[in-house]
Amino acid sequence: MASSSTRDRSTAPGQTGGANVVEHASDQAEPPLPRQHTLQVTQQTTEQITQQQPLALAFVNGEALIEKPEDLYIPPDALEVILETFEGPLDLLLYLIRKQKFDIVELPVLQVTKQYMEYVEVMADIKLELAGEYLLMAAMLAEIKSRLLLPKHEGAEEDEGDPRAELIRRLKEYELIKKAAEALDNAPRMQRDYHLAQAGTSDEVQPIKHLPQVSLQELALAFAGVMQRAKAFEHHQIEKEVLSTRERMSMLLQRLTHDTYMRFDELISADEGKAGVVVSFIAMLELAKEGLVQIEQAQPYANIHVKLGSYEQDI
């Protein structure tokens, strides 16, 4: 009712107020126009920018290449399409088996072969050159499929084995290797999962040394401990005295020339130590061997006596 009364007032003849109301309403409806006008201007500006700045086909040395050169030659092997989903025919077969939740041991060759050939045909339709190993696997699947479809005669020899056995073995080995590779890839890796923290020091920053507070007595005890430990690391060089057996033989003969009968302990010197005893004893034995002296001992562990002369003279 309110809308009808308003319509009557605005359209009644002879009333100028209604016309004024209509004109005022039309004036109030004008503000939305600038928004549409802005959209049109924006579209026109975008079209102008698109026409003025065409998209670049490529960037060569930082410069945009707008048009394809007429003498451009692209070798057939220049572009390489990498299928990241499958790394080979075994990977594709394993994907098809896992996708359909088949058992590898009970491999349904007919269904897997059909899906495999569909993938090969799709790759051929989009003109992607397949590797030879994909085609070889297709031929192997076709052979296994044909052998399974052949009828078995009663008089034929026993079957050599399941034609799927070799393929199943290869699939199992590939699955184990793939799982091991995934486990290695998930392991933490340098520069991928973690980075070494390297912090450099400025040459302008000088370290502050904090010297400990010690007393003179503590320093003396520490020095004494250092000297005590230093003795264990000293290098003791022992000089070996050169004692010649021939010289000792000559000396023994000279001594026996004055005293024809002497004890062995009288022929050695205490300053020479054990080395002098050994050299003197060897010299005495050499003289006895050459027949220049005689060695006598009354009983074991008794004194040894030496005198000039040989045993042949006594005989």
Q: Which of the two residues, 302 and 314, has the higher pLDDT score?
A: 302
Residue 39 confidence (pLDDT) above 50: no
Q: How far apart are CA 168 and CA 268, in angstroms?
A: 92
Local confidence band at 78 (pLDDT 50, 70, 90 cut-offs): low
Q: Which of the two residues, 217 and 5, has the higher pLDDT score?
A: 217
- Residue 101 near residue 85 (C-beta atoms within 8 A): no
Residue 40 confidence (pLDDT) above 70: no
By percentage, how much of the chain surpasses pLDDT 90? 5
Query: Domains in the chain, please, with CATH?
Result: 89-150+162-184 (no CATH), 245-314 (1.10.10.580)
Helix 273-289 and helix 245-258, axial crossing angle in degrees, nearest 10: 70
Distances (CA, A) of 300 to 29, 156, 188, 303: 146, 102, 80, 9
Q: What is the pLDDT of residue 123?
A: 73
Amino acid letter, 132: G
Strands 293-297 and 304-308: antiparallel
Averaged pLDDT of the chain:
73
Q: How far apart are CA 299 and CA 237, in angstroms?
A: 41
Average pLDDT in the 56-67 region? 75
Q: What is the pLDDT of residues 99-143, one digit of tens each?
A: 878 777 777 888 888 888 888 777 776 655 666 777 788 888 888
Q: What is the pLDDT of residues 6-21, one digit of tens each?
A: 344 434 444 444 434 3
Q: What is the pLDDT of residue 130?
A: 64
Of the listed ranges 38-47, 193-202, 264-273, the one predicted with least confidence: 38-47
Q: What is the pLDDT of residue 115?
A: 83
Q: What is the pLDDT of residues 262-272, one digit of tens each?
A: 888 888 888 88
